[in-house]
Structure 1
Amino acid sequence: MTFYALVALIAAIASFAVGATVLALSHRFKLYPGIRDRDVHTRPTPRLGGIGIVLGVAIALAVASQISWFERVYSDPFPILAIVAAAVVMLVVGVADDLWDLDWMTKLASQILIAGFLAWASLQIVSLPIGPENGITVLSPTLSLIVTVLAIVLVMNAVNFIDGLDGLVAGVTLIAGGVFFIYSYILSITTNQSAFNLASLTMAVLLGATAGFLPLNWHPARMFMGDGGALVVGMLMAISTITVTSQINPSSIDRSQLLPAFIPLLLPFAVLVVPLLDFGLAVLRRLRAGKSPFSADRLHLHHRLLDMGHSHFHAVLIFYAWTAVIAVGTLLFMFVPWEWALTAVILGLIACTVVTLAPLSARKRAEAAAQSSHDAHGPLARFDPLDAAAPPIDTEFDENDPVFDTLTRSRRQPEETR
């Protein structure tokens, strides 16, 4: 575990150092796009944070190759070289899209080609926890290729779709990836595998790189990871998950061990329920409107949270909460009876739902009172989101504001006299 922490620390330092350098160069040479209608931020911000993340991962993997404890991982260096090469190519495509807005067919084609290359490099899903014999199915080479490509492309796009708020993707990755790392580490020990394996190493360096980038991306963000960063993060999460299946010998697993053994395979997809839901809803919404499924809009889940009245910070925390409940809840199934784990997950989901749907009381009271006050140009107008004088959506209301106090008191009085 100490050496995993070491390579993660190296990835974090490298990611932050490179990111800070890229940030300075981006401002010096104005390497940032203009503000789009769907953007939440209000000032031009560089979107090249993916460069720091990818270089942080590459540098940490290079250092790990010189550590004797990882000798078994590097006994066949081709898969690692394939991961680095795929990450660099995906970064280039993403950066090109961030700077010049590539069409969706070009981006999708590149994702499929990169996923196919990784599958060709033996990074494939070899079995699934379903089937008549011992509850598992060993996939044919063709089916393994298809399932692997679909999984990688799906996770890449799901992660990219939620990259709309400061610190969202980096924080979700740290939560989900941290739990996944624990899974893969425990699995490698319980199945008599080496604790030093490609799945755990890939996730460790990804965690370090995203942790190093997060200070630059925390609200208010000085830099975004952009498509180049989000697509690479999704790709590495998918690859780390897929690599786990190659560590499992299907014939050595009986039904009683099946769920713990394959939870690492299911975990990232469970954790990405919200992004995958956002992705599915977006595709259906756009197809129904006769548009490309990859066209952009401002109806993603994080946009809806802001429109409901949540501040930018609250919306990010809500995504963190959903991720933590599902990730930690899945982990509980390995250590406690399933009834207790299921109960904990249900209670956590209920709490997340209440927080998500409950409007911020101060904001809603102010908005309702302002809209009924017919004071379109006075001091109350700033509380009305339908008025041009309204503050940005993530501006917090101060309940000690005398204007706010007068406003809400006048709103309550008719109800009290009835």
Structure 2
Amino acid sequence: MREYLLVILTGIAVTYLLVSPVKSLAIAMGAQAAVRDRDVHKVPTPRIGGLAMFGGLLGALVMARALPHMTQVFIETKTANAVILSGALIVLLGIADDLWDIDALTKLAGQIAASGILIMNGVQLSALPRLDGGSLALSPVYGVPLTVFIVVATINAVNFIDGLDGLAAGVVGIAAFALFLLGYRLAEVVDIPLLIGPAMIAAVLVGICAGFLAHNFHPARIFMGDTGSMLIGLLLSAATIQLIALFDTAIAEKYLIFPLWLPLLLVPMVTVVPFADMLLAVWRRTNQGLSPFAPDKQHLHHRLLRLGHSHRRSVLIMYGWVGLVGACMVAMSFVPPDPPTWQALVLFITLCVAALGAALMVGVPRIIARRAFQAEVEAAAAGPGDRTRQHA
């Protein structure tokens, strides 16, 4: 655990320190986000902050390579090569998009190419867990396109939620931390070395998200841009895929309930809000005869602002949802294969209370705003004479 902490702290420090020079570079290159109708920022803000995150990734991996035990991960796998090469490609693609707004098909081609680099370096789904236990082996005919789909979908889901200050970095950081805990727990229970590739990627991702968030939380002084959102989406999907491929289902099922369903479902569950937001956006735009990539101001974070939440509170609500789901998924890794009834009951009650709390967080400001508006309407209808008599 100490080596993981060193990797996380290195990612935080390097990313945090690189943001200032990257910000100056962005201003010099003219890579600034202009104020548009669908945006929530009020002044032009430098972007390509993802370049600092990529520097944090490299710094954290250099630290990991220098550590006496974690260096074994580099010897036994191509994990570092996979994330560095694919990450470099996705960062170059993101910089081009942040500077010149490249078309959607070009970005998609670049994302598929980055997925191919991961696959060539061993980050690929080779099996899936079955509902009745055991695993289903996947030939490359099925494993390769499924891997590409997961990577591309995760990249674009993260990109879709990058609309409020600190939202994407915080959500992905929380998801990565949950994935790290889950990988560490699985390795501990199955009795394999605790220093594993997917947990290392997740730890690096936690560090670079935390380091960037210090500059990106509202009011943001720099944006990660597509350079950063695509990079962290790529890393999140790579850690998930490698974690699924690492464990033998037959062994893991002796100790845990749904052992390999947990990492497989963690990212979709944690990012269920951005994934749902992405699907609704595609449906909404195509239903209106627009391109699925056409921008609008109907994303979930925009709706939270219209409900009456402040910018920071909207972001914290999203953090709360993601943290809750991630905590529940990690907690499931502590449930034995044959859980007693009371454990299932406690889990059910926890989820119900959490759902109620989320509904209240979203709904209460709307009710308050509606009542305030109704009071203003009634006061206006009463007229100045009636208001004077009421005060008298």
TM over 0.5: yes
Deviation at 1:77, TM superposition (A): 5.4
Deviation at 1:372, TM superposition (A): 6.0
Secondary structure of 2:296 counterpart: coil
Matched, 1:102 2:102: yes
Kept in 2: contact 1:309–1:364 (CA 8 A): no
Identity %: 36
Q: In structure 2, how many angstroms separate the alpha carbons of the residues matched to 1:28 and 1:148?
A: 38
Q: In structure 2, how many angstroms separate the alpha carbons of the residues matched to 1:198 and 1:254?
A: 21
Instruction: Indicate the larger mover: 234-243 or 333-342.
Output: 333-342
User: Could you say which residue in structure 2 is the equivalent of 1:395?
Assistant: none
Deviation at 1:261, TM superposition (A): 4.0
Q: In structure 2, how many angstroms separate the alpha carbons of the residues matched to 1:355 and 1:67?
A: 44
The amino acid of 2:251's aligned partner reads S
Deviations along 1:19-72, whole A, 9 cap, x unmatched?
A: 111113333554313222211101000111101111101111022112121132
Q: In structure 2, how many angstroms separate the alpha carbons of the residues matched to 1:255 and 1:300?
A: 43
Matched, 1:317 2:336: no
Q: Any gaps of 5 or more consecutive residues in structure 1? A: 376-406
Instruction: Indicate the larger mover: 251-260 or 4-13.
Output: 251-260
The amino acid of 2:359's aligned partner reads T
From 348, 356, 361, the equivalent of 2:362 is 356
Q: In structure 1, how many angstroms separate the alpha carbons of the residues matched to 2:117 and 2:235?
A: 14
TM (normalized to structure 1)? 0.85
List aligned pairs for 1:67-106, cutoff 5 A: 67-76=67-76, 78-106=78-106
User: Could you say which residue in structure 2 is the equivalent of 1:391?
Assistant: none
List aligned pairs for 1:15-414, cutoff 5 A: 15-28=15-28, 30-76=30-76, 78-130=78-130, 132=132, 134-254=133-253, 257-335=256-334, 337-359=343-365, 363-370=369-376
User: How many aligned residue pairs are there?
Assistant: 379
Q: In structure 2, how many angstroms separate the alpha carbons of the residues matched to 1:329 and 1:96?
A: 39
Deviation at 1:87, TM superposition (A): 0.7
Kept in 1: contact 2:16–2:212 (CA 8 A): yes
Secondary structure of 1:358 counterpart: helix
Kept in 2: contact 1:166–1:220 (CA 8 A): yes
Kept in 2: contact 1:112–1:153 (CA 8 A): yes
Compared with structure 1, are the counterparts of its residues 76 and 136 closer, same or farther at alpha carbon in structure 2 (3 Å cutoff)?
closer
The amino acid of 1:245's aligned partner reads I
Kept in 1: contact 2:19–2:212 (CA 8 A): yes
Q: Any gaps of 5 or more consecutive residues in structure 2? A: 336-342
Secondary structure of 1:259 counterpart: coil
The amino acid of 1:55's aligned partner reads G
Kept in 2: contact 1:54–1:87 (CA 8 A): yes
The amino acid of 2:10's aligned partner reads I
The amino acid of 2:299's aligned partner reads H
Instruction: Calculate the aligned-residue CA RMSD, in Å.
Output: 2.3
Deviation at 1:254, TM superposition (A): 3.8
Q: In structure 1, how many angstroms separate the alpha carbons of the residues matched to 2:307 and 2:274?
A: 18
Kept in 1: contact 2:244–2:260 (CA 8 A): no
TM (normalized to structure 2)? 0.90
Instruction: Indicate the larger mover: 155-164 or 338-347.
Output: 338-347
Compared with structure 1, are the counterparts of its residues 369 and 276 closer, same or farther at alpha carbon in structure 2 (3 Å cutoff)?
same
Deviation at 1:346, TM superposition (A): 2.1
